[in-house]
């Protein structure tokens, strides 16, 4: 037996016991007569004590240990003379009687400490060392807890986890597939699933009633900062269900996770239509940890000969409470912020509502104190507040104001990682216009059902048709999204038609689903949560990367194992493909 | 709300309640005045009653329902006049007041019954209908229960589930990889993992200490009857561990599963060396539900001028208890069985130990009653028993006798699906000779550690080196296998060398692991269970296919979705590959 205890186990009550511990050398300290070694494993740190007088040879051996050596020690638990209140084992140390070096270690390329000196690239290359650090390991443990509690909740609600296949069929709709050449079927390819969407619908046709799966999905997209080519979903589907049932079920899941993992108990989640979210926050995933809603200002800003406003489709404002004292420098920085090409505002208008009741704006030339008082009234601003206005095309200016709102909140410290503000965004549009292909695309996916009362608009105003689709947003992050599906073959055909599929294309790509719908498909719907994102949200961090054991970089490479890589021509030949 | 109850919920105590149910029409019966409909969902069947006199219109509507129509009904729970004791809801029926057809159905291509009239091919093509049948759904639920209980046990033992990547690096060692072209890295490919082997070892280097994952794995092999290109493993690894720790831990898991799922409590599992398993059962996965061990018969059968035996390297026998009365026809059939090319025996010798104490053998010409009495003594046979003998080259004849042993047991009804006989097979050889490539291959994989006391044999008798490797066998099925790994860079290099890797090849393919071993790798080992096989074993069935929601056929095709399939040239072009 290589150990009797873990390095986080021993306490005052163990004093006198003979124990065996194994682990890594965190650090060694020579204090002349005594040498101390901090021994580390997943569970904690225990101090080992070596006395040069009572056991010279062993102590000399201990002095040769370097960081990250793997050792096994046998010894007696004794009381520490100077206790360490910072660690749970701080009352005791091990008087070592036997030391066995299980493995040596080169000096690691970065320190194995909570705050490491290793940069991101180095950490990724030596990820197996990075994982030894507490923050990374704790992230992985958090991930495990989240999946465990997710399963517990869904199991308690009669869901069955069903594994769906990874080698499936490529469909041009949606994002780009990763494909897998088939050796046994010459010239043919599998695709890796972007999601188990059609399979979970088929499971509903198959009467499984409540399905879930925590499952890897794949998208061959150009990677943005925080995207991974393989990512994990909590994928769920229910039969004989309406939107209300699904919102309640997965609000229940989210509340369960927040309570079990974060100790946070929340009231029932607010709901907001997509239309309101866009109008009030300029985003379909508003961060509700703070208010700062949009006010539409056209009425009180136009016809004052200020061309910027007069020519705008929309003038929109937000009110930053108690910020009237913000410096010119700070305001200039914010102006620069919204003028960055990624945001694209032409400029930023502000108006300070001073504590003395006067106004000071960046457009005093065009607006009198009375005019500005109207702004304040429109925005419910009070003395001491700071108003920001942006103007332009409605869609664009809302997006810009959304960025400004988040930035102002950031500066005010309103985006606290230990606060959770959930929101259901509902009534998403069914279709969205794609400028590039000049046609409507499914906003969610082609299996999403339109609201029955809107179906008549499909022909003439397709953009106005609302869907039975919903997103769960927490703290401005889209955590999950889903919809009530179409379960009727005719309606599904109509949808494919409006999405520009020919009958043959629809049949070729989704024939099996259309066939399935002919044999008694039940009403059904579901949701999928981005599990990596859920983990980072619960971990209070922006990036998902440190919640994934072995992530890929922005070129889709695993720099640790050096993948992807070249392969033998013989292997390609067997697969009936060659390089271009 | 589409239902207030499931179709398996209602009991005598619900009589009088108004309920809403949704489900599929299992069958309808017209009894003149009354029409009855069996309504089915995942949870059960409830009888719906329609009375032609009290509600003519509704009853006429009900008469139009066909099998597999999806309906919603509202009505009152009433007591059934003739109760059905076979189903839990048999005390009641629903007096329907409202009927809503949610979806119609074409007549299914096979009956949705426990015993269906659908053949395998048809069932696979319409798998979504097949899943509606109780036996298939119950298999999927069993699978879910097994994964749930596996997680519960491993969680309770401090294991962390860590997701390892699916897009990894191709290695020529082992089975053939499925590969995935990388669009962003021209001319390069990912591979799908055959197992997370190297990643779980890296997690041990990373101090995760106890890892598991229920994970899909992929092998592009020519498919035998019961193999799938994608399959699921329970993959586990532990640090600071010796073989004994691992056997105990996973014996614990297996006992937990047997107890929770099958209600079977077993004593501690027997252990047998690979050498003994081969000698006593001719197999490294002996079925221990019954004894019938091999007896080596050379001493009592050779030198009797029976050339078949005299020229044999090994004469081996088994004793079938109480089978002396077996007919000539039965014995001829067994002879034909072992002479089939798949088994390849030249013939089968038998000897009946009659109840009266006399012997009757198929080789009476060569052996006297006294000679045959020696056989009986050697085999501990008693009057009434039947002895079988095979002879030839040791390896071959043992394999043949293994097949005969299983076949005889089958005929005797000794292979009961509700009995569980586990066995640890230990001390596997490290290497096995491959006739085709004329070199030694790792029997388990190249990371398996040799027994320290055998390392000296690596140079001169590599075939005799035993490994710290073990298999868990239940009922003659290999359920899992694992080993203590090498954690030392030098030993790993030595192994690669003996496996015929050049230094460059080893570095190219496993450099990251060798590097990791330089930074304090702990002693570690693990095991992986074939989860599909575990499910079929617990389900008491031979085939794994019905424990997989959407399996592939023997050509690796999913006949339901018709994958793999051709893809656009544009897509290939983006990936920088073309068809040969």
Q: Which CATH number is B531's domain given? A: 3.30.930.10
| Residue B456, pLDDT above cutoff 80 | yes
Residues 6 or more apart in contact with residue A220 via CB below 8 angstroms: A175, A176, A177, A178, A229, B183
Domain count, chain B: 3
The pLDDT of residue A244 is above 80: yes
Report DSSP state, residue B450.
Answer: B
Same domain, residue pair B43 and B78:
yes
- Is B175 in the A-facing interface, judged by CB distances under 8 Å? no
Does the residue B77 lie in any domain? Answer: yes
Question: Is A2 inside any structural domain?
Answer: no
CATH code of the domain in which B377 resides: 3.30.1360.30
* Residue position matching structure tokens 């702004």: A375
Considering the domain architecture, whether residues B406 and B427 belong to the same structural domain is answered as no
Question: How large is the average pLDDT for residues A150-164?
Answer: 98
Mean pLDDT taken over chain B: 95
Say yes or no for a CB contact (<8 Å) between A563 and B167: yes
CB within 8 A of A120, min separation 6: which ones?
A: none
Question: A487 to chain B: which residues are within 8 Å by CB?
Answer: 102-103
**Could you tell me if A68 lies within 8 Å of chain B, comparing CB atoms?**
yes
DSSP structure class, residue B463: G
Do B243 and B525 form a contact (C-beta atoms < 8 A)?
A: yes
Domain presence at residue A518: yes
Classify burial at A325, counting beta carbons within 10 Å of its beta carbon; exposed 0-12, middle 13-18, buried 19 or more: exposed
* Chain B residues 8-27 within an 8 A CB cutoff of chain A: 22-24
Q: Which residue of A has its CA nearest to B486?
A: A103
Split at pLDDT 50, 70, 90, the class of A16 is: very high
B50 and B142 assigned to the same domain: no
B476 occurs within a structural domain: yes
d(CA A439, CA A531): 32
Give just the sign of the alpha carbon dihedral B107, B55, A239, B42.
Answer: negative
Q: What is the mean pLDDT of residues A279-305?
A: 96
How many Å lie between the alpha carbon of B205 and the closest alpha carbon of chain A?
6
B43 and B73 fall within a common domain: yes
Helices (runs of H) and strands (runs of E) counted in chain B: 16, 23
Give residue A50's domain range: 12-103
Q: How high is the pLDDT of residue A511?
A: 87
CB contact under 8 A, A576 and B576: no
Rg (CA), chain B: 30
Asked if B557 has any chain A CB less than 8 Å from its own CB, the reply is: yes
Let me know whether B403 and B316 are in one domain. yes
Residues A311 and A248 in one domain: no
Q: How far apart are the first and last CA of chain B?
A: 56
Q: What residue in A sits closest to B507 (Cα-Cα)?
A: A561
Which of A140, A563, A569, A570 best tests the B interface by mutation, with the highest count of B CBs <10 A?
A: A563
- Picking from A103, A130, A162, the residue at the C-terminal end of a domain is A103
Alpha-carbon distance A374 to A396, whole Å? Answer: 25
* Res. B328 pLDDT band, cuts 50 70 90: very high
Cis amide prior to A111 (ω within 30 degrees): no
Q: Which of residues 181-220 of B touch A (CB under 8 A)?
A: 181-185, 187-192, 198-199, 202-203, 205-210, 216, 218, 220
Q: Is B139 left (phi over 0), alpha (psi -120 to 50) or beta?
A: alpha
A529–chain B nearest CA distance, Å: 16
Three-class SS of A31-80: ECCEEEEEEEECCEEEEEEEECCCCHHHHHHHHCCCCCCEEEEEEEEEEC
- Distance of alpha carbon A55 from alpha carbon A312, whole angstroms: 85
Q: CA-CA distance, A31 to B249, in Å (whole number)?
A: 41
Note the pLDDT tens digit of each residue in B345-368. 999 999 999 999 999 999 999 999
CA nearest A510 in B: which residue? Answer: B561
> What is the pLDDT at residue B506?
86
> Pick from A108, A179, A580: which is nearest to B519 by CB?
A108
B190 lies in the same domain as B231: yes
> Which residues contact residue B246 at a Cβ distance below 8 angstroms, ignoring those fewer than 6 apart?
B238, B470, B482, B484, B525, B526, B527
Q: Is the pLDDT of residue A223 over 80?
A: no
Residue A112 is assigned to a structural domain of this protein: no
Q: pLDDT tens-digit profile of B142-197? A: 999 999 999 999 999 999 999 999 999 987 767 899 999 999 999 999 999 999 99
By 3-state DSSP, what share of chain B in percent is helix, strand and coil, each rounded to 5? 30, 25, 40
Using CA atoms, how far residue A449 sits from A198, A463, A467, A518, B397, in Å, is 14, 14, 6, 17, 65
CB-based contact B47:B80 (threshold 8 Å): yes
CATH number at residue B86: 2.40.50.140
A181 to B185: CB separation less than 8 angstroms, yes or no = no
| Residues A262, A149 share a domain | yes
Residue A509 to residues A88, A407, B572, Cα–Cα distance (Å)? 59, 44, 18
Is B152 in the A-facing interface, judged by CB distances under 8 Å?
no
Q: Searching chain B, which residue's CA lies closest to the CA of residue A512?
A: B561
A chain contacts of residue B571, beta-carbon cutoff 8 Å: 170, 172, 176-177, 179
Q: Name, in order, each residue with C-beta under 8 angstroms of A296's C-beta and a sequence gap of 6 or more.
A: A279, A314, A315, A316
Worst-scoring range by mean pLDDT, A138-147, A538-547, B220-229, B397-406?
B220-229
Q: What is the DSSP letter of A450?
A: B
Evaluate whether B548 touches B539 at the Cβ level (below 8 Å). Answer: no
Closest CA to A497 of A442, A429, A434: A442
Residue B216 lies in a domain: yes
Q: Chain A interface, mutation test: which of B20, B116, B130, B167, most A Cβ atoms within 10 Å? A: B167
The predicted model gives A443-471 an average pLDDT of 93
Residue predicted with more confidence, A27 or B222: A27
Average pLDDT over all residues of chain A: 95
Whether residue A74 lies within 8 A of chain B, CB to CB, comes out as no
pLDDT confidence tier of residue B580, bands split at 50, 70 and 90 = confident
Q: Which of A160, A487, A560 sits opposite B140 (nearest CB)?
A: A160
CB < 8 Å to B228, chain A: none
Q: Closest approach of chain A CAs to the CA of B477, in angstroms?
A: 23
Contact A454, A502 (CB under 8 A): no
Cα–Cα nearest to B43, from B21, B61, B20? B21
Residue B423: which pLDDT band, with cuts at 50, 70 and 90? Answer: very high
Chain B residues with CB-CB distance to A163 below 8 A: 143, 216, 232, 548-549
Are the C-beta atoms of A431 and A463 separated by less than 8 Å?
yes
Specify whether the CB–CB gap between A338 and A391 falls below 8 A.
no
What is the reported pLDDT for B441?
A: 87
Distance from CA of B402 to the nearest CA of A (A): 33
Domain boundary at B46, B78, B103, which? Answer: B103
Residue B197's alpha-carbon distances to B237, B392, B526, in angstroms, are 9, 39, 9
- As given in the structure block, the two tokens for residue B578 are 């073309």
What residue has token string 């290099």? Answer: B493
Q: Which of B68, B167, B573 lies at the smallest CB-CB distance from A229?
A: B167
Output the pLDDT for position A175: 85
Q: Which of B130, B224, B549 to mutate to test the interface with A (most CBs of A within 10 A)?
A: B549
Which residues in chain A are contacts of B132 at CB distance < 8 A?
206-207
Closest CA to A114 of A87, A96, A82: A87
Residues of A in contact with B573 (CB under 8 A): 580
**Interchain CB distance below 8 Å, B180 and A178:** yes
Report yes or no: B43 at the A interface, CB cutoff 8 Å. yes
The reply to whether B433 touches chain A by the CB within 8 Å rule is no
Question: B17 and B97: one domain?
Answer: yes
A205: nearest CA in chain B? B128
CA distance B354 to B180: 65
Q: Is the peptide bond before B564 cis (omega within 30 degrees of 0)?
A: yes
Q: Is the pLDDT of residue B225 over 80?
A: no
Mean pLDDT of A399-410: 97
Question: Cβ of B521 and A70 within 8 Å?
Answer: yes
Query: Got the DSSP string for B284-296?
Result: SS--TTS----EE
Q: Is residue A117 part of a domain?
A: no
Q: Is the pTM of this model over 0.80?
A: yes
Residues 455-514 of A with CB under 8 A from B: 487-488, 511-512
- The alpha helices in A287-393, defined as continuous H runs, are 298-301, 307-310, 328-339, 369-378
**Token pair belonging to B177:** 């990889």
Contacts of A267 (CB under 8 A, 6+ apart): none
Report the C-alpha gap between A95 and A58 in whole angstroms: 11
CA–CA dist B30, A319 (Å, integer): 71
Is residue A509 predicted with pLDDT exceeding 90? no
Q: Is residue B114 part of a domain?
A: no
Are both A303 and A390 inside the same structural domain? Answer: yes
Q: Do A567 and B137 touch (CB under 8 A)?
A: no
- Measure the CA–CA gap between A520 and A487, rounded to whole angstroms: 9
Q: Token digits for B30?
A: 């017209």
Tokens of A174: 């949606």
B231 touches chain A (CB under 8 A): no
CB pairs under 8 A between A and B: 361
Measure B235 CA to nearest chain A CA, in Å: 15
- Compare all CA atoms of chain A with the CA of B182 and give the residue at the minimum distance: A564
Q: Do B240 and A198 touch (CB under 8 A)?
A: no
A530 and A449 within one domain:
yes
Q: How far apart are CA B108 and CA A521, in angstroms?
A: 12
Q: Which residues of A touch B141 (CB under 8 A)?
A: 160
Interface of A with B in 401-430 (CB under 8 A): none
Residue A490 CB coordination number (10 Å) = 9
Cα end-to-end distance, chain A, whole Å: 56
- Long-range interactions of A95-100: CB distance < 8 A, separation 24+: A95/A49, A95/A51, A96/A48, A96/A49, A96/A50, A96/A55, A96/A58, A96/A62, A97/A55, A97/A58, A98/A58, A98/A73, A98/A74, A99/A50, A99/A58, A99/A61, A99/A62, A99/A71, A99/A72, A99/A73, A100/A71, A100/A72, A100/A73
Q: Which two tokens stand for residue A197?
A: 């969407």
B180 CB neighbours in chain A (<8 A) are: 178-180, 192, 564
pLDDT in the model for residue B507: 86
Between vectors from CA B332 to CA B330 and to CA B337, what angle results, nearest 5°?
A: 95
Q: List, edge to edge, every strand of the sheet that includes B524-530.
A: B160-161, B210-218, B230-239, B524-530, B477-484, B469-474, B422-426, B271-273
Scored b (16 or more CB within 10 A) or e, B113-149 reads eeebebeeebbbbbbbbbbbbeebbebbebbbbbbbb
HSE of A10 in the Cβ direction (CA atoms, 13 Å)? 31
The complex's ipTM works out to 0.95
pLDDT category of residue A444 using cuts at 50, 70 and 90: confident
Q: What DSSP assignment string belongs to B501-546?
A: --HHHHHHHHHHHHHHTTBTPPPEEEEEEEHHHHHHHHTT-S-SGG
CA–CA separation, A420 vs A537, rounded Å?
Answer: 9
Which residue in A157, A175, A520, A570 has the most chain B C-beta atoms within 10 A of its own C-beta, making it the best mutation to test that interface? A520
- Domain boundary among the residues B379, B397, B415 is at B415
Confidence of residue B116 (pLDDT cuts 50, 70, 90): very high
Nearest to B392 by CA among B453, B316, B468: B316
B28/B145 same-domain check: no
């Amino acid at each position: 037996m290589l150990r009797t205890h873990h390095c986080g186990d021993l306490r005052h009550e163990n004093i006198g016991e003979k124990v065996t511990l194994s682990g890594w050398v965190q650090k060694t300290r020579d204090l002349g007569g005594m040498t101390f070694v901090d021994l580390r494993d997943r569970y904690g740190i225990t101090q080992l004590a070596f006395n040069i007088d009572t056991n010279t040879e062993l102590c000399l051996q201990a002095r040769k240990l370097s960081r990250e050596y793997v050792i096994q020690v046998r010894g007696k638990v004794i009381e520490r003379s100077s206790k360490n209140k910072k660690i749970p084992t701080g009352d005791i140390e091990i008087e070592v009687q036997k030391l066995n070096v299980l493995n040596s270690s080169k000096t690691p390329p970065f320190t194995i400490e909570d705050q490491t000196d290793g940069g991101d690239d180095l950490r990724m290359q030596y990820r197996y060392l990075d994982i030894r650090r507490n923050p990374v390991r704790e992230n992985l443990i958090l991930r495990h807890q989240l999946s465990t509690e997710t399963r517990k909740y869904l199991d308690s609600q009669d869901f069955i986890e069903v594994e769906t296949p990874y080698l499936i069929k490529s469909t041009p709709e949606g994002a780009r597939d990763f494909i897998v050449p088939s050796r046994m079927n010459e010239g043919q390819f599998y695709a890796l699933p972007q999601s188990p969407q059609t399979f979970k619908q088929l499971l509903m046709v198959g009467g499984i009633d409540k399905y879930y799966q925590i499952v890897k999905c794949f998208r061959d997209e150009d990677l943005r900062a925080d995207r991974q080519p393989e990512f994990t979903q909590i994928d769920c589907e229910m039969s004989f269900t309406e939107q209300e049932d699904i919102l309640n079920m997965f609000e229940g899941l989210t509340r369960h996770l927040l309570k079990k993992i974060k100790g946070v108990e929340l009231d029932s989640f607010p709901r907001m239509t997509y239309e309101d979210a866009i109008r009030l926050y300029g985003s379909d995933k508003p961060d509700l940890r703070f208010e700062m809603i949009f006010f539409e200002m056209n009425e009180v800003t136009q016809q004052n000969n200020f061309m910027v406003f007069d020519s705008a489709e929309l003038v929109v404002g937000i009110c930053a409470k108690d910020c009237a004292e913000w410096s010119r420098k700070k305001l200039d920085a914010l102006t620069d912020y919204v003028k960055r090409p990624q945001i694209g505002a032409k400029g930023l208008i502000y108006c300070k509502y001073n504590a003395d009741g006067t106004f000071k704006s960046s457009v005093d030339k065009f607006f009198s104190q009375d005019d500005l008082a109207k702004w304040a009234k429109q925005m419910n601003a009070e003395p001491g507040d700071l108003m920001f206005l942006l103007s332009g095309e409605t869609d664009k200016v809302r997006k810009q104001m959304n960025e400004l709102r988040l930035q102002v909140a950031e500066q005010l410290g309103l985006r606290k990682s230990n606060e959770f503000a959930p929101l259901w965004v509902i009534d998403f549009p069914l279709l969205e216009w794609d400028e590039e292909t000049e046609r409507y695309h499914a906003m969610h996916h082609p299996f999403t059902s339109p609201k029955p009362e809107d179906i008549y608009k499909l022909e003439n105003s397709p953009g106005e048709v609302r869907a039975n689709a919903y997103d769960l947003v927490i703290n401005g992050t889209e955590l999950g999204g889903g919809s009530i599906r179409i379960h009727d073959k005719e309606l599904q055909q109509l949808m494919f038609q409006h999405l520009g599929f020919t009958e043959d294309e629809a049949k070729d790509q989704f024939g099996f689903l259309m066939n399935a719908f002919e044999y008694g498909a039940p009403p059904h719907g579901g949701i999928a949560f981005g599990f990596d994102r859920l983990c980072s949200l619960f971990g209070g961090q922006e990036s998902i990367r440190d919640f994934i054991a072995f992530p890929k970089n922005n070129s889709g490479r695993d720099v640790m194992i050096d993948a992807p890589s070249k392969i033998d021509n013989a292997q390609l030949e067997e697969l009936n493909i060659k390089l271009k």
